[in-house]
Amino acid sequence: MALGDSDIAFALELFEPLGDLTTRRMFGGMAIYHQGVIFALLRSDATLLLKAEGDFRARLEADGWDRWTHTRKNGTETSMPYYIIPSEVLDDPESASDLARASLDSR
């Protein structure tokens, strides 16, 4: 499944309050950067994820966010440092941008 223009426009609009966004297509999806630093992924199925490390990761896990797990061709699962953004955040660009700032600050 490939990303549509409307999926990309939605993701960029959601994080627009950050300013200075760039993107790079990869693996059928897209990476989203702020000032050259990756903070989010838009998967090919249009699921939007936020990168989290350290205390920010602990915060998202405490809040019940689902971590992205990928199943490899050999059947093993690996967890990625990305969390699926809940629907209530997808409706609020200010909240999404605040969380994106926290993601960027977590490194």
Mean per-residue pLDDT, 7-26? 94
Q: Percent of the chain at pLDDT above 70?
A: 99
Task: Please say if the pLDDT value at position 88 is more than 90.
Answer: yes
pLDDT the model gives residue 1: 62
pLDDT the model gives residue 28: 84
pLDDT the model gives residue 93: 93
Mean residue pLDDT of the chain comes to 93
Using CA atoms, how far apart are residues 17 and 89, in angstroms rounded to an integer?
Answer: 14
37-84 pLDDT tens trace:
999 999 999 999 999 999 999 999 999 999 999 888 999 999 999 999
pLDDT the model gives residue 94: 93
Under CATH, what is the fold of the domain 5-105?
Yope Regulator; Chain: A, (3.30.1460)
Domain boundaries, the chain: 5-105
Q: Percent of the chain at pLDDT above 90?
A: 83
**Buried b / exposed e across 26-62, counting CB within 10 Å, b at 16+?**
eeebbbbebeeebbbbbbeebebbbbbeeebbeebee
pLDDT the model gives residue 2: 75
